[in-house]
Amino acid sequence: MYAFDYHRARSLEEALKLFATLDEATFLAGGHTLLPTMKNRLAAPENLIDISALPELSGIGMQGGVLRIGAAMTHHAVAASSLVAETIPALAALAGSIGDVQVRHVGTMGGSVANNDPAADYPAAVLSLGAEIETDRRRIPADDFFQGLYATALEEGELIVAIRFPVPETAGYGKYRNPASRYALAASFVSIRDGAVRVAVTGAGKNGVFRWEAAEQALMGHCSASRIADLRPESDALLSDMHADAAFRANLVNVVTRRAAEHLGGASIV
Residue 153 CA, chain-centre distance (Å), reads: 14
Residues 257, 124: Cα–Cα separation, whole Å: 12
Residue 13 CB, nearest approach to another protein (Å): 18
CA angle 55, 76, 69 (to 5 degrees): 45
Per CB under 8 A, does 35 bind another protein?
Answer: yes
Q: Which residue of 6, 63, 234, 242 would you call a contact of another protein, by CB under 8 A?
A: 6
- The strand pairing partners of 70, in sequence order, are 162
Report the residue number, 180 or 242, with the smaller CB distance to another protein.
180
- On the CB side of 21, CA atoms within 13 Å amount to 8
According to the binding rule CB under 8 A, does residue 270 interact with another protein?
A: no
**Shortest spacing between CB 246 and another protein, in angstroms:** 26
182 or 227: whose CB is closer to another protein?
182
Distance CA 11, CA 203 (A): 34
Each residue 203-242 as x (binds another protein by CB under 8 A) or -, in order, gives: ----------------------------------------
Closer Cβ to another protein, 38 or 190, answer by number: 38
Q: Is 11 in the site for another protein (CB under 8 A)?
A: no
Binding mask of the shown chain, residues 43 to 62, with x at each position contacting another protein by CB under 8 A: -----x-x-xx---------
Nearer to another protein, 38 or 127 (CB): 38
Compare residues 68 and 76 and give the one whose CB is closer to another protein.
76
Q: Which residues contact 235 (CB under 8 A, 6 or more apart)?
A: 246, 247, 249, 250
Identify which of residues 52 and 188 has a Cβ nearer to another protein in the complex: 52
Enumerate residues 87-116 that contact another protein by CB under 8 A.
99-103, 105-106
User: Please, which residue, 89 or 168, has the CB nearer to another protein?
Assistant: 89
Residue type for position 83: L
Beta strands per DSSP E along the chain: 5-8, 25-28, 47-50, 60-63, 66-70, 132-135, 139-141, 160-166, 170-177, 184-193, 196-202, 210-211, 266-269
Number of residues that bind another protein (CB under 8 A): 29
CB of 31 closer than 8 Å to CB of 106:
yes
Picking from 98, 123, 109, 132, the residue whose alpha carbon sits closest to that of residue 52 is 109
Residue from 2, 59, 247, 265 that binds another protein (CB under 8 A)?
2
Binding site residues, another protein, CB under 8 A: 1-6, 8, 28, 31-32, 35-36, 38-39, 48, 50, 52-53, 76, 99-103, 105-106, 180-182
